[in-house]
Amino acid sequence: TLVIVDASQALGLINIDMKNIDIDFLVFAGHKTMYGPFGIGGYIYNSDYELKMFSTGGTGSNSTDLHMPKELPYRYEPGSYNIEAIFGTYNGIKWIESNNIKEKEFELTKYCVEKLKKLKNIELYIPKDNEKHIGIISFNLLGYKAEEVASILDEDFNICVRAGHHCAPKVGAFLGDNAKYGMVRVSLGYFNTEEDIDKLSEALEELL
């Protein structure tokens, strides 16, 4: 059995010990918590399992060969590299290392949860342990579809959130009847402020 973890919303914010929790592949995106540009992703390999590429569009660095190189990482890197995105993600990682990213996002998340918990007719989908909660807060307002809430926040309050199943449709069904049709997701980042969260809370209070 292979264990593949999508860490797109976590890598850069929390420490992940792949060996201790037996992760074979850790997948990430450059443009989220790595603070890089769009158009780049990757995975960290911690397994003896050999992935087989079914389509490459070329044979990598040696165009005269009929097969991809055997050496890693070139075996899985056909075509031209997205140099700008690679360089941007590299600098995003360096920037994360030199700033207090984790601590600030943790405090913002804690503050936002406290504000949202005070609202009536809101259903929050958050961990019980606040010490393990950072960056992402999902919720529904009773009486509204998630898409309605996101649209109103965007058009009337200039607040950007996401609505839907967030690339995990089965999770919604697991969380209950209100979540199976989608959720509103707040994604907090280093450049957000408590004032941003206050505006969100006030806007939701108007809807309720």
DSSP string, 130-195: GGG--SEEEEEETTS-HHHHHHHHHHHH----EEE-TT-HHHHHHH-TTTTT-EEEEE--TT--HH
Output the pLDDT for position 138.
95
- 167 is known as an active-site residue: yes
Predicted local confidence at residue 56, as pLDDT: 67
Specify which residues 164 forms β-bridges with.
Answer: 183
Q: How confident is the model at residue 133, as a pLDDT?
A: 85
- Of the candidates 189, 194, 193, the one whose C-alpha atom is nearest the C-alpha of residue 134 is 189
**Could you tell me the domains of the chain?**
1-99 (3.40.640.10), 101-207 (3.90.1150.10)
pLDDT above 90: residue 46: no
Residue 163 backbone dihedrals phi, psi, to 5 degrees = -125, 145
Span 150-169, mean pLDDT? 94
Q: Which two tokens stand for residue 150?
A: 């996101």
Q: Give the pLDDT mean for 59-82.
A: 78
The pLDDT value given to residue 60: 65
In this prediction, residue 57 carries a pLDDT of 66
What average pLDDT score do residues 162-190 get?
87
Amino acid at 32: K
- Does the pTM exceed 0.85? no
Q: Which two tokens stand for residue 170?
A: 């089965």
DSSP 76: G
Q: What is the pLDDT of residues 73-126, one digit of tens each?
A: 888 887 788 999 999 999 999 998 888 788 899 999 999 999 999 999 999 999
Residue 205 has pLDDT above 90, yes or no: yes
pLDDT, averaged across the chain: 89
Please determine, for residue 58, whether its predicted confidence score (pLDDT) is greater than 70: no
CB-count exposure of residue 77 (10 Å: 0-12, 13-18, 19+): middle
Quick one: pLDDT at residue 76? Answer: 82
Catalytic option among 17, 118, 167, 191: 167
